[in-house]
Amino acid sequence: MLASGCDNLAKGVTEAILNMQSEKEDIRKCYIGGRPFEGLEKKLRRQEQLAQANNKGNYPVLKVLVVHGIGSPQPGYSTRLAENLAQALSLNRVQETIKEITITHPMFPSQDLGLLRLTRYMNANENREIIFAELTWEPIIAKEKQTINFDNSGQYSFRRTHINNTLKVFLNDTIPDVMMFNGTSRQQMNVSVSQSLCWLMSEMWESLQIKTAQFCDASAPNRMNRIDDEFVFISHSLGSRITVDALQWIANIFSDITKLEAIHAENVQIPEKPAAAPSQTNTMSNFLEKKHLLQQKEFTVFMLSNQLPLLQMGQLKPGVTARIADICGPNATHAAEKLFSKTHLIAFSDPNDLFSYALPPNFIDEYLDSRLCPTLTNAILNVTSITDIFVGQFANPLAAHTEYDNDPRVIGLIAKGIDQSDIDPGVAEHCTWLESVPDGQ
């Protein structure tokens, strides 16, 4: 009888908890405001059409570069995000071999600049594929961060309450990243992302070695030959700042090419000056061809736990700002200056995430290079549950910073985008969408 009574009590408690959970209303909010943008699905559709037209020959593929933010992630940290996206996009096959590139650069011969880890996801017909490239740049700062590891040891941690110790460990693991980005390590971080982008713009899956440690020279004739591929960035917190800096790096490179183009044109027009050597002419033609291809490209940056406003503080503005309409608008008077056709910035932020921020509309005009032709969409949503406690409502700020990659609405927005014709059903049901219209429309 005693055993039976305990079983009944346990059953009753379990049923009560389950009933409470099932009846609990999901009060998490989701607001999306800004310009429409396309997700990975549309890019895969175009890839499928091109694959059929080329009979599965050489056709552009979709490449997604993931850049982590603060913290100490280990290689493989993006697996949950990749698998959630693969499921949403019906990519049910994955290449067994994972390819790895150890990032190197002659400017930092003795510095570990991180690891680029590439995974290939496909559908059954192999006419849709994503090269999912995960960058771990954390080794750049790992050694210096060890100087405060003593504070996480048992000698000190037992003196704190459990919750306070959890928060202290989190701060010890994250705050140094921002300090070092604004200090001695920023250039190495930017090189790590720029090198990753160079590799993606230069190689097909088949031409990549399983393991390699090489420098990718973007100026070499055999590099940057895969610009026809489609490129998407998914960044987290500090990774968004580093990614935008990498795009700025491209802008600076091709700005220099534009100056060389003017010199080259001047040399051609003035017969008295000696003609350029054939190798120099070919190199210039190669540069100009790549520049013109980039001017037709659209890039998308999904910025999870966006921190651009915070990390802009104390930084110099780019050289070309407040000229988006002149360079990128429908009546642009300086369209030749643009670097890309468009750069879509989708800023995800959770109001309960202590480290994330939405972007005001004037931010991109004031603080981003106008030649990137940026557009803005804010996705403000709760990625962690909200609980009623005795003093009011509470949401775990650590979960609010880290759970973007497991939120169905975030996955739906990345996979399907948002416009009038293609919206993920979960996003359509649970999110409010307010489209912004540019001046003159």
Judge whether 248 lies within some domain.
yes
Q: In this predicted model, which residue has the larger pLDDT, 330 or 28? A: 330
436, 425 in Cβ contact below 8 A?
A: no
Judge whether 376 lies within some domain.
yes
- Whether residue 267 has pLDDT greater than 60: no
Share of the chain above pLDDT 70, in %: 81
pLDDT band for 391, please (50, 70, 90 cuts).
low
Q: Beta strand 417-418 with 37-38: parallel, antiparallel or unpaired? A: antiparallel
Q: How many residues does the chain have?
A: 441
Q: In this predicted model, which residue has the larger pLDDT, 157 or 222? A: 222
Which tokens sit at 430? 């649970």
- Whether residue 25 has pLDDT greater than 80: no
Count of CB atoms situated within 10 Å of the CB of 70: 23
* H or E, element range at 30: strand 30-34
pLDDT score recorded for residue 146: 73
From 3-12, 302-311, 312-321, the region with the lowest mean pLDDT = 3-12
Match 């190689």 to its residue by tokens.
203
Of 406, 410, 412, give the one whose Cα is nearest residue 425. Answer: 412
Number of structural domains (the chain) is 1
3-state DSSP call for residue 329? coil
The conformational region for residue 276 under phi > 0 = left, psi -120 to 50 = alpha, else beta, is beta
Cα 129 to Cα 121: distance, rounded to the nearest angstrom: 5
Match 């928060």 to its residue by tokens.
167
Judge whether 153 lies within some domain.
yes
Alpha carbon distances (Å) from 80 to 14, 160, 407? 30, 32, 11
pLDDT band for 202, please (50, 70, 90 cuts).
very high
Judge whether 69 lies within some domain.
yes
Per-residue pLDDT tens digits for 338-386: 889 999 999 999 998 888 899 998 999 999 999 999 999 999 999 988 7
Which tokens sit at 32? 């999306």
- Whether residue 59 has pLDDT greater than 90: no
pTM for the whole thing? 0.85
Judge whether 13 lies within some domain.
no
Cα 427 to Cα 269: distance, rounded to the nearest angstrom: 57
Domain residue limits at 363: 26-435
Cα 201 to Cα 188: distance, rounded to the nearest angstrom: 20
Judge whether 5 lies within some domain.
no
Q: In this predicted model, which residue has the larger pLDDT, 8 or 98? A: 98
Arithmetic mean of pLDDT, 199-219? 92
Arithmetic mean of pLDDT, 200-217? 93
pLDDT band for 323, please (50, 70, 90 cuts).
very high
Judge whether 106 lies within some domain.
yes
411, 429 in Cβ contact below 8 A?
A: no
Instruction: Tell me the β-bridge partners of 362.
Output: none
Which tokens sit at 404? 């973007």
pLDDT band for 262, please (50, 70, 90 cuts).
low
Arithmetic mean of pLDDT, 26-41? 89
Judge whether 98 lies within some domain.
yes
